[in-house]
Amino acid sequence: MRIEFNVYDDDTLYFMYVTDQVRIEIAQQGLLIEDRQGEVHTISDPMKYLTIEQHEDEYFQASLVEPHLDTIIEAVKVLSNKLTNRE
């Protein structure tokens, strides 16, 4: 696993979270996720993943659509912690 987090002088944020299955990067419209097969999609509201585990039905529905749900949840938690500690 590899994590990169940088905040540049112009307040631009860079975040990348890489596992052996996916690569997750911050993008203008949310988080950009690329799997090993090269499929790419965007999650426009990544912060909803901070509480999705608390809502069993929502978690179940998301797991049917997103095979890397637990990795996304972990990446969003890491990003949230980095942002919180930055302030």
DSSP string, 20-66: SSEEEEEETTEEEEEETT--EEEES-GGGGGTGGG-HHHHHHHHHH-
In this prediction the pTM is: 0.90
Q: What is the pLDDT of residues 29-81, one digit of tens each?
A: 889 999 999 999 999 899 999 999 999 999 999 999 999 999 999 999 999 99
Q: How many domains are there within the chain? A: 1
Answer yes or no: is pLDDT of 16 > 80: yes
- Assess whether pLDDT exceeds 80 at residue 86: no
- Domain residue limits at 39: 2-86
Contacts of 68 (CB under 8 A, 6+ apart): 21, 22, 33, 35
